[in-house]
Amino acid sequence: MSRMDNAELFRAIGSKTRVKMLKLLLRKNYHITGLAREIGISVPVAAKHVRILEDAGLVSAEEYGNTKVLRLNRERLYGVLDAFSEEYDVSIPKGTNILDILKRVSGVGIKKIGEKEFIVSINGEEGFYIYEVDGSAPNKPVNEFKMEKDGEVAIKRLVPVLKKRVRVHVKEVESGEVVEKGKKKAEDA
């Protein structure tokens, strides 16, 4: 990524309004009018912000007649965060498993649970982590995948992205009737 690309990206995410737009676009696609309405700004102002997001490659628009539907470029957004990842060079004997390689890297927390070991933190940041080798997620546990040739291992923290929120209301049932907030209601069959 060139210096100019970085400047456009940081300019794009340097506005609270554009960050709100990105958050909304994480959930679903919008047309500019809908996005403006959700944020509470005029359509011309929203269009100006969208143009900046498009120039940075964070948003793309598909045209349907006179309507533009905006879509978030997730890969580009996540790529912004990749610029801040730490990089290490490690020399190992052929056939060393990924877990043993990671034990050599400063800041990688490993925890043994039963007979298995797991990556549980990076630089003290606990969470769920997965690994990729040369851009692909192997279908083997981290302690079973052996490096047979030069490559790149990426450790990624699974970040919870809210897809759905469900409000659960627990009701007490007393002899066939539902009690809700101190009131009794007949339960529908």
Per-residue confidence (pLDDT) for residue 186, from 0 to 100? 47
Tell me the H-state helices in 28-116: 32-39, 43-55, 74-82, 98-102
Region of residue 11 (phi > 0: left; psi between -120 and 50: alpha; otherwise: beta): alpha
For the entire predicted model, the pTM comes to: 0.51
H/E stretch holding 153 reads strand 153-157
pLDDT tens-digit series, residues 44-84: 999 999 999 999 999 999 988 888 899 999 888 877 777 77
Does 164 score more than 80 pLDDT?
no
Write the pLDDT tens digit of every residue in 130-139.
Answer: 889 998 999 9
**Residue range 87-112: average pLDDT?**
89
Distance from chain centroid for Cα 8: 21
For residue 72, the cross-strand partners are 59
Instruction: Assess contact for 157 and 127: CB atoms under 8 A.
Output: yes
Quote the CA–CA distance of 34 and 43 in Å, as a whole number. 9
CATH match for 3-81 among 1.10.10.10, 3.30.565.10, 3.40.50.2300, 3.30.9.10: 1.10.10.10
Where exactly are the structural domains of the chain?
3-81, 85-157
Q: Which residues pair with 132 in a beta bridge?
A: 154
Task: Indicate the pLDDT class of residue 176, thresholds 50, 70 and 90.
Answer: low
DSSP state of 164: -
